[in-house]
Amino acid sequence: MSRSILDEAHIHPAIRAKISDSNAAIVREVQAAVAANAIVVVGMGQNPFPRKARKILDSLGTPYQYLGYGSYLSKWRPRSALKMWTGWGTFPMIFVNGMLIGGAQELQALVERGEFSSLLKTPA
């Protein structure tokens, strides 16, 4: 799969650092959590889908790390950096052994098809 990202050659040198540093801390925080935990759920308040994903994982007895960033009205700029980093435009963002699997609906589908447990066994 290839995802279109603006080539650095097409970004003026004067703004490259600004782009690189923009909300980089939140991306580094999520990257560190993904490296340190088998399952990471990245969500936000007031959104029912991160709660749904956590409920699914809780019902399976599967431990996970949850990172919550603001709500619909707060921290939307930092969350935008996560969307650009992953290419996934909604929350939650669920990572299993370092792999982005999607959100709550994708997690539910993997569980229903019996594929989720095999993902857990796959080393990062």
* 95: amino acid identity, one letter: F
* 53 within a domain of the structure (yes/no): yes
Q: How many domains does the chain have?
A: 1
What DSSP state is assigned to residue 43? E
CATH code (residue 42)? 3.40.30.10
* 41 within a domain of the structure (yes/no): yes
* 10 within a domain of the structure (yes/no): no
Per-residue model confidence as pLDDT tens for the chain (124 residues): 788 889 999 999 999 999 999 999 999 999 999 999 999 999 999 999 999 999 999 999 999 999 999 999 999 999 999 999 999 999 999 999 999 999 999 999 999 999 999 998 877 6
- The whole domain housing 94 covers 37-121
Residue 60's nearest CA partner among 100, 120, 103 is 120
Q: Residue 12: which residues within 8 A CB-CB, separation 6 or more?
A: none
Q: From CA 35, how far away is CA 117, in angstroms rounded?
A: 19
Tell me the three state secondary structure of residue 8: helix
* 62 within a domain of the structure (yes/no): yes
